[in-house]
Amino acid sequence: MFEQTPEKDLSIPDRITYHLHRTKTSHWKLAKALGCSRDTIFSYANGKISENRMDVGVLKKMAEYFGMETYYFCNEYHVFVDITDVPKYLKGVRREKGMSQREFCEAFQIPLAVYKKYETGAVRIPEKYYRIVVGVE
């Protein structure tokens, strides 16, 4: 499977598995090096945790461990939440459109009470709303 598919086209779990096999690194050894549990590595590598729920910090440490660029194991959503001031971004988009929070939520079908938490930074915006607001879909 890995020989026929360029590694940049692989899913995050497949990239992790590829590099574990390539370097003959065990889940336990990687977990110890990253300061997380073996179960986390196992779950990431086997797709037991959806990509949008993976911890960006762990993925970045993993890239460093394997000598890859910082966001190698990340997808566009991970990069967005890591490098963007999301509350400021959301407020900016909403204000650019001249909308109140209520109008914005109605337009994008986001529950108002939940959106307020995204805009204050109390809760991380989920990937499905990121895709809608940023216009990735």
Q: Which pLDDT value is given to residue 134?
A: 82
Same domain, yes or no: 44 and 89: no
Residue 82, pLDDT above cutoff 90: yes
79 assigned to some structural domain: no
| Spatial separation of the C-alpha atoms in residues 57 and 114, rounded to whole Å | 24
Residue 3, pLDDT above cutoff 70: no
1 assigned to some structural domain: no
Same domain, yes or no: 12 and 67: yes
For 86-99, write each residue's pLDDT tens digit. Answer: 999 999 999 999 99
Residue 5, pLDDT above cutoff 60: no
Q: Which pLDDT value is given to residue 31?
A: 98
Same domain, yes or no: 63 and 17: yes
Residue 65, pLDDT above cutoff 50: yes
Beta-sheet strands, E only, within 1-137: none
Residue 85 CA: distances (Å) to CA of 62, 72, 79, 108: 23, 21, 11, 20
pLDDT, averaged across the chain: 91
Residue with tokens 């915006």: 125
Q: Which pLDDT value is given to residue 8?
A: 66
Q: Which pLDDT value is given to residue 135?
A: 75
Same domain, yes or no: 67 and 112: no
Same domain, yes or no: 109 and 57: no
| Spatial separation of the C-alpha atoms in residues 2 and 117, rounded to whole Å | 41
Residue with tokens 């079908």: 109
Q: Which pLDDT value is given to residue 38?
A: 97
Which CATH number belongs to the domain containing residue 108 in this structure? Answer: 1.10.260
Q: Which pLDDT value is given to residue 4?
A: 43
Residue 34, pLDDT above cutoff 80: yes
Residue 39 belongs to what domain range? 7-74
Tokens matching residue 72: 């190698």
Same domain, yes or no: 57 and 94: no
End position of a domain, from candidates 23, 49, 74: 74
Same domain, yes or no: 18 and 65: yes
22 assigned to some structural domain: yes
Number of domains in the chain: 2
Same domain, yes or no: 27 and 48: yes
Q: Return the amino acid letter for 42.
A: F
66 assigned to some structural domain: yes
Judge whether 86 and 125 are in contact, CB under 8 Å. Answer: yes
Judge whether 56 and 81 are in contact, CB under 8 Å. Answer: yes
Residues 6+ away with beta carbon under 8 Å from 5: 14
Tokens matching residue 75: 């997808």
Same domain, yes or no: 61 and 92: no
Q: Which pLDDT value is given to residue 35?
A: 97
